[in-house]
Each structure stands twice: as structure tokens, then as C-alpha cells.
């Protein structure tokens, strides 16, 4: 919990409750009252993980094929491939080599892991979530959790033969 339950956003966002057990008695009411809030902002959400990973992989494929990364991002930004990463991250952080978006690799890996694990707990078959979770976990393991999330590009570049 970030802050107290009597503070924003907990006071203005509805919580979820009424959970059931999976162990020791599957389907029985929970023995302890639990309330959950799903909160996110521009820096903390599951969708950023797969989008960024896909953009990085596209740049790596294009780079190996001999395409100009800047031109690739320009084309993505006038097509259906346009997203947060292509608009604000790829050129400024990755192509220019800054790798300083200000958001830690470990935090993005955590956000993706939480979403993937929630899907699994809810018995949703989400193979993309599992794959992206592993991709970010591998980059975090190789580079360290405190590195900038954009540096995952470096780990993924090295992973290609």
C-alpha cells in the first residue's frame, strides 16, 4: 500500500472484495476480509511492458536487416503500430542511447509479473502475459532491477545470435 487507506486514491476508487478461498477449502468464503484496489498511472501498468518489448524487438529485427531505426519509428508512428513507446521512448531513450526514462527495470518487470500472475490466479489463459513476464524477468536478472527499463533493449540485443 502506498499511503493510508483513508487517503486518495483509496477513498475515491471502489475496492473489490467478497473473495473465495482456493485453499484449504476451494470455493468457500474467505476466512479473512480482503479488499483489493487495482490502481495504475502512466508509469505503472501491464500494457507498457508488452508494448515496449514488441517495439524493442522490432527495432532489433530491423537493425539486423539493415533498416534505419529512426525511420522505423517514424513509420510506426503514422501506422497502427503507434503507441507510448514509439511516441515517447524509442527515439529519445533507446535510439539516442540515453537509457534514462526514470523508471526502473525491476518495477516494470514487477508490474508485468503481477498482471501475469493475476491472470493465472483467475484461470485466464494468457500466454502473451507469461512470455512477456519472462522476457522482462530475464532482462532484470541480467542487468539488475535498479537499471532503467529502457536498458532491457541492451539485454535483448545481446540475446540474439
Residue 81 burial (C-beta neighbours within 10 Å; 0-12, 13-18, 19+):
middle
**pLDDT reported for residue 45:** 64
- pLDDT per residue over 35-53, tens digit each? 666 655 554 567 788 999 9
What gap in Å lies between CA 75 and CA 53, rounded to an integer? Answer: 18
What gap in Å lies between CA 59 and CA 17, rounded to an integer? Answer: 43
Coil, helix or strand at residue 20 = strand
**pLDDT tens, residue order, the chain (161 aa):** 445 666 666 677 677 777 777 778 788 887 776 766 665 555 456 778 899 999 999 999 999 999 999 999 999 999 998 998 999 999 999 999 999 999 999 999 998 998 888 888 888 899 999 999 999 999 999 999 999 999 999 999 986 66
Alpha-helical (H) ranges within the chain are 48-65, 69-76, 84, 105-121, 127-143, 152-159
**pLDDT reported for residue 1:** 45
Per the CB < 8 A criterion, the answer to whether 13 and 40 are in contact is: no
Amino acid at each position: 500500500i502506498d499511503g493510508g487507506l483513508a487517503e486518495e486514491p483509496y477513498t475515491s476508487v471502489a475496492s473489490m472484495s467478497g473473495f473465495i478461498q482456493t485453499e484449504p477449502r476451494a470455493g468457500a468464503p474467505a476466512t479473512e476480509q480482503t479488499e483489493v484496489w487495482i490502481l495504475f498511472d502512466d508509469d505503472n501498468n501491464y500494457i507498457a511492458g508488452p508494448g515496449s518489448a514488441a517495439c524493442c524487438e522490432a527495432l532489433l529485427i530491423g537493425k539486423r536487416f539493415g533498416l534505419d531505426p529512426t525511420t522505423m519509428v517514424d513509420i510506426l508512428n503514422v501506422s497502427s503500430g503507434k503507441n507510448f513507446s514509439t511516441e515517447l521512448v524509442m527515439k529519445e531513450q533507446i535510439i539516442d542511447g540515453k537509457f534514462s526514462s526514470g523508471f526502473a527495470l525491476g518495477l516494470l518487470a514487477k508490474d508485468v509479473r503481477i498482471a501475469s500472475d493475476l491472470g493465472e490466479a483467475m484461470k485466464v489463459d494468457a500466454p502473451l502475459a507469461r512470455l512477456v513476464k519472462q522476457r522482462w524477468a530475464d532482462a532484470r536478472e541480467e542487468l539488475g532491477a535498479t537499471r532503467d527499463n529502457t536498458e532491457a533493449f541492451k539485454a535483448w540485443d545481446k540475446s540474439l545470435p
